[in-house]
Chains A and B, each alone.
Chain A
Amino acid sequence: MATVVQAVRMALHVGEDRLGVTDIFGEDIGPPLGGAFTQTQGLRTAWNSPLDERGIIGTAIGLALAGQKPVCEIQFCDYIFNTIDLLKIAGNTLWSSNGQWNVPMVCITPVGSGIRGSIYHSHSFDATATHIPGWKVVMPSNPLDAYGLMLSAIVDPNPVMYLLPKALMRTRALPEELIPGEPGDDKALSKMIDAPLGDRTQWRAEWPDTPNLFVPIGKANVLRQGEHVTVISCGRLVREAMRASDELRAEGVSVEVIDLRSLYPYDWDAIKSSVRKTHRVLVVNEDTEITNFGEHLIRRIVEELFYELYAPPRLLAGAFVPGIGLADNLEHASVPQRSQMVTLLRELASHEP
């Protein structure tokens, strides 16, 4: 059962092996480390860049303009903010040239809290990423989606921002999330594709034969059907939402769980169908709550589905504070917790107009 990070690595291998990826690069991406989270170990086209985020994004744009297929990485999204104008250029080049130049690049960046990353390893980037037109933005919540979304990002002719929840890196696939072709045995897979400790100069990965399995960008996953209330989330908080739903099931509350998977374009049809069914909705993410992407979803739900609603839609998001403090209590107080989800979902489910 692959972990999220192994799934990303296998997808990148498929990318360079048969989907035209020419460069996988960023800080510490090449040997010997193979990525701060081991996500690029053993990859043929992986190389180390200077410690220069603007250079990484700029070079990826240049490679894409020259007909290459780059996958670049900003090691933590906390360090992507000095590249915003370059991200805007990647997103506006096709538009500003009136259709002449597309920019087929992928940018991976680890996001979010959950590893006690303190002020500069806990940022979220979804609110900012979805504010840059011309980019597609995806965020997986499990190994299978991590694999399939990466393949889709690679073959997409546009810039794709691949937000990788860092707290999920070592999360293993559930049985239904097995990637076809991977050995189900953890140790067997690790032996094949995890670089050994110590000297790695002679080591080569032995890649399992995994298929071109695309998770389409723009399609949400309705993980659990429910009747009383819908929770819409993505990334790390999806499993928390599932657990919240488990807890409420015992109380007789039936929660529908939607994993967005793509933030832009997002699956409005899935949201619409669900709200029409449950009439109550909670949007959950961990970016700061002011001008949050979830606010956009709620605005649209209110505008287009107002008469379907039995309760005011709710947003559970990160506190609008300058950073996430290191101590447990500080982090817990800053990002959504399962207990808060349970409370809000319970309130919503019992709310009548």
Chain B
Amino acid sequence: MSMTTTEATTHGAVGADDTSIAPELLLQMHAHMVTARVLEERLITMYRQGDGYFWIGGPGEEAFNVPLGMLVHKGEGIAYDYLHLHYRSSGTLVALGADPVDSLRQMKNTATDPYSGGRNFGSHYSVKRWNVVPVSSPIEVQYSMCTGTAIAQKRAGSKGITIVQGGDAGTAEGDFATCLVWSSRKGHESPVLIIVTNNRYGISTPWEGQHGEERVSDRGKAFGMPTVTIDGNDPETSYHAIKKAMDYVRTEKKPYLLEVMVSRLHGHSSASGANFVTNERDCLKDFEAKLEARGLRTRKEMDEMRAKVTQELLEASKRVREEPQPEGSTIYDHIFADKNYVAGER
């Protein structure tokens, strides 16, 4: 079920050939994609060299996740977008402006890891100042939680929207239905951009044997929400589709279901070896060919960019190795906020 062209459903077509994105923006997009890809490669290498216990990430999804991060109305609190992401979202974080070295810190589970202080797996982001709510390992739970931030935003008359993202396999969980039902309640619709990145696998299990529906996006139709399935291997298509969906959700304060066909270039996780797969499209390679053909960036420039980021992250990984690990005595920290709080006795 690989897709090379976009497909229009209820909300109209998104043109793959739309080239109205400013060249500077395309080049910025490319730079983020390179950083995100190299970051994932470094994380995999760290895992292989014993500098991490587990790798999971999103190489192959950069052409969608990077534009997503670039389009987010970024900030803290209900005036801004909330992001309920999952563990393949490094491209989005890079585009938001996250320091890739912090991802290395989480991989090495150092005390300096700003996302979890060495408590959680890599790619399990949490950034309060950007409304990136904590990524957790259970599949699809974010789809049950996202309605809460969306209800708060709608009530406040906020410009902010709620963005939730997960994979295709997870849509089999009840939480996906929860999201569709709760966000589309008549008279109480809530501003949720529901994203499903479809790589056609749940770990090792192909989509085809488990799902009768043709497309995940079809499920949105029953709830009266606009839905579309797009080619997430093309960053320009992604950019336009995300923008269109965000505009709808921001203006109408209603849900929109966006299914995105993507590749999974290093398999599910380190549990399956994390080796590069050769039978799936590589969005970075395709995009670079396009940029070169359009004369926006030369092959040499792109090779140099990649070499530079690779070198920087290699050096950073050596530094991170020397950073302190969390002390065992800290396990009791942050179980309760304001742990001495006793109501009425402040």
Contacts and interface: CB of A to CB of B under 8 A. Distances in A.
Contacts, number: 160
B337 interface: yes
B334 A99 contact: yes
Interface stretch (A61-69, A194-202, A281-289, A300-308): A61-69
B77 interface: yes
B77 A94 contact: no
Contacts of B336: 94, 134, 136, 157-158
B148 A96 contact: no
Nearest to A158: B336
A157 B115 contact: no
Contacts of B134: 93, 96-97, 100-101
Interface in A206-227: 212-219
B239 interface: no
Interface stretch (A50-58, A116-124, A172-180, A313-321): A50-58
A99 B181 CA distance: 32
A67 B158 CA distance: 14
B24 interface: no
Contacts of B338: 157-158
A66 B82 contact: yes
B119 A59 contact: no
A60 B141 CA distance: 13
Interface in B176-214: 178, 181-182, 185
Interface in A3-56: 22-23, 49-50, 52, 54-55
B343 A66 contact: no
A158 B116 contact: no
Contacts of B185: 50
B92 interface: no
Contacts of A104: 337
B145 A61 contact: yes
Interface in B314-346: 333-338, 341-345
A193 interface: no
Contacts of B148: 58-66, 68, 70
Interface residues of B, number: 50
Contacts of B116: 96-98
A59 B337 contact: no
Interface string A147-172: 00001100111100000000000000
B147 A62 contact: yes
Given A50-B185, A96-B119, A96-B134, A55 B335 contact: no
Contacts of A68: 148, 152
A273 B224 CA distance: 62
B343 A59 contact: no
B238 interface: no
Contacts of B153: 66
B310 interface: no
A98 B337 contact: no
B274 to A, nearest CB: 23
Interface string A57-89: 111111111111010000000000000011001
A54 B144 contact: yes
B151 interface: yes
B204 to A, nearest CB: 23
Contacts of B124: 96
A96 B109 CA distance: 12
Contact of A59 (B126, B127, B144, B341): B144
A55 B343 contact: no
Given A86-B144, A98-B119, A134-B335, 9 more contacts: A50-B185, A54-B175, A58-B146, A63-B148, A65-B133, A94-B335, A96-B136, A134-B336, A216-B342
9 contacts: A50-B182, A52-B182, A62-B162, A65-B149, A95-B333, A99-B333, A101-B126, A155-B343, A156-B343
Interface of A: 22-23, 49-50, 52, 54-55, 57-68, 70, 85-86, 89, 92-102, 104, 133-134, 136, 151-152, 155-158, 212-219
A-B interface, 10 closest residue pairs, ranked by CB to CB distance from nearest: A62-B148, A58-B144, A214-B344, A98-B117, A152-B343, A102-B337, A66-B152, A63-B148, A97-B126, A99-B334
